[in-house]
Amino acid sequence: MVFLQVEMSWNVLISPTQLSPKGLLLRKAIIVRLLEDIANRKASKDHGYYIAVNELKAISEGKVRELTGDVLFPVTFTCITQKPMKGEILVGSVDKILKHGVFLKSGPIESIFLSEKTMNDYKYIGGENPMFMNAHSKLEKDTAVRFKVMGFRWMEADRQFQLLATLAGDYLGPL
Amino acid sequence: MSGEEEENAAELKIGEEFLKAKCLMNCEVAIILEHKYEQIQHMSDGDPASQVSQVFEKSLQYVKRFSRYKNPDAVRQVRETLSRYGLAEFELCTLGNLCPDTSGEAFALVPSLHSGGRFQGDAGNDKIDKMLNDLSLIKKFE
């Protein structure tokens, strides 16, 4: 999984009760709020998943919002992100086995569907511990799998991506 | 599944953000996230698990499980070694993550290596084999 380190700008809103004459406390409040904002945003269509704020570059001069008294601080920072790519080869692990395919997860991506149709000679075997098997290998819960991303789409309602995976190709399959 | 039709990692037709931004391998992200986790632990003097987002938590678990190199010196050497071969950032990270065993596997996983005449014919295969051999040496002496 290829991660990105991107420079971003963001406006952080600080309530007047948190404004402190001690510069460090204000700085801490801004950082805490930035981390919360990033965690709540989770992901976006353009940037992909927001994983962590890496380095705070600058906090610019705050602007007071007249109605509420909140202060808006423009902040620049680098962020570690992850955005799915069509054609990329990823490694993930099996989350759920269904008759018509397998759900995988990989890093921040929770919903990756591998259709039984793209799994060539793998056969579904039901039971308490369902699996897909071929002559030399099997996929069951938690198996690590190398797959190729066939396509993806952004789901605005859940703020996440859905991926479609395939095992058709050389050197793909359970590891 | 529409996605962005024009983007395709196999041909290195990737978004502008991938070309501008720095790409990171699993093992590099593992070092950064573990460090962040410790920082948050200090800042909140409590249970950091409740302070980090799910996306962070899942990514940390993932990179810990799927990083081939753990030692920070080895991680630095891997990037140094790979960056001597004229690879795009995206190719570099994919190879560093997937650790193919042979040049055939490397070409299958990163088809864009065929482009630009960088690794052509037997000499190209030898170059890739040398690169993979360098990587396995780093692993051996980690």
Q: Do B56 and A39 touch (CB under 8 A)?
A: yes
- The domains of chain B are located at 14-66, 72-140
Phi (first) and psi of residue B140, to 5 degrees: -65, -40
Residue B2 has a pLDDT of 44
Q: Model's pTM, two decimal places?
A: 0.89
ipTM of the complex: 0.90
- The domains of chain A are located at 4-82, 89-174
pLDDT of B4 > 50? The answer is no
Taking the Cβ of residue B141 and every Cβ of chain A, the question of whether any pair is shorter than 8 Å is answered with no
Q: What is the rounded average pLDDT of the residues B108-136?
A: 92
pLDDT beneath 70, residues of chain A:
none
pLDDT of B109 > 50? The answer is yes
Looking at the domain A4-82, which fold is it? Dna Ligase; domain 1 (3.30.1490)
Residue B47 has a pLDDT of 65
**Contacting residues of A for B18, CB less than 8 Å apart:** 2, 4, 83, 85
Q: Do A80 and B108 touch (CB under 8 A)?
A: no
- pLDDT band at residue B19 under the 50/70/90 scheme: low
Q: Chain A: residue nearest B62 by CA?
A: A107
Pick the CATH number of B14-66 from 1.10.10.10, 3.40.50.170, 1.20.1250.40, 1.20.1260.10: 1.20.1250.40
Looking at the domain B72-140, which fold is it? Growth Hormone; Chain: A; (1.20.1250)
Three-state SS for chain A is CCEEEEEEEEEEEECHHHCCCCHHHHHHHHHHHHHHHHHHHCEECCCEEEEEEEEEEEECCCEECCCCCCEEEEEEEEEEEECCCCCCEEEEEEEEEECCEEEEEECCEEEEEEEHHHCCCCEEECCCCCEEECCCCEECCCCEEEEEEEEEEEECCCCEEEEEEECCCCCCEEC
Q: Chain B: residue nearest A153 by CA?
A: B3
Higher model confidence: residue B79 or residue B115? B79
In terms of Cβ atoms closer than 10 Å to its own Cβ (0-12, 13-18, 19+), residue B97 is: buried
Q: Do B9 and A164 touch (CB under 8 A)?
A: no
- pLDDT band at residue B3 under the 50/70/90 scheme: very low
Topology match between the domains B14-66 and B72-140: yes
In terms of Cβ atoms closer than 10 Å to its own Cβ (0-12, 13-18, 19+), residue A1 is: buried
- pLDDT band at residue B67 under the 50/70/90 scheme: very high
Give the position of tokens 């050197």: A171
Of A2, A108, A164, the CB nearest to B58: A108
Give the CA radius of gyration of chain A: 22
Closest CA of chain A from B62, distance in Å: 5
- Return the half-sphere exposure (C-beta side, CA atoms, 13 A cut-off) of residue A166: 13
Q: Do B17 and A4 touch (CB under 8 A)?
A: yes
In terms of Cα–Cα distance, which of A25, B48, A95 is closest to A104? A95
Looking at the domain A89-174, which fold is it? OB fold (Dihydrolipoamide Acetyltransferase, E2P) (2.40.50)
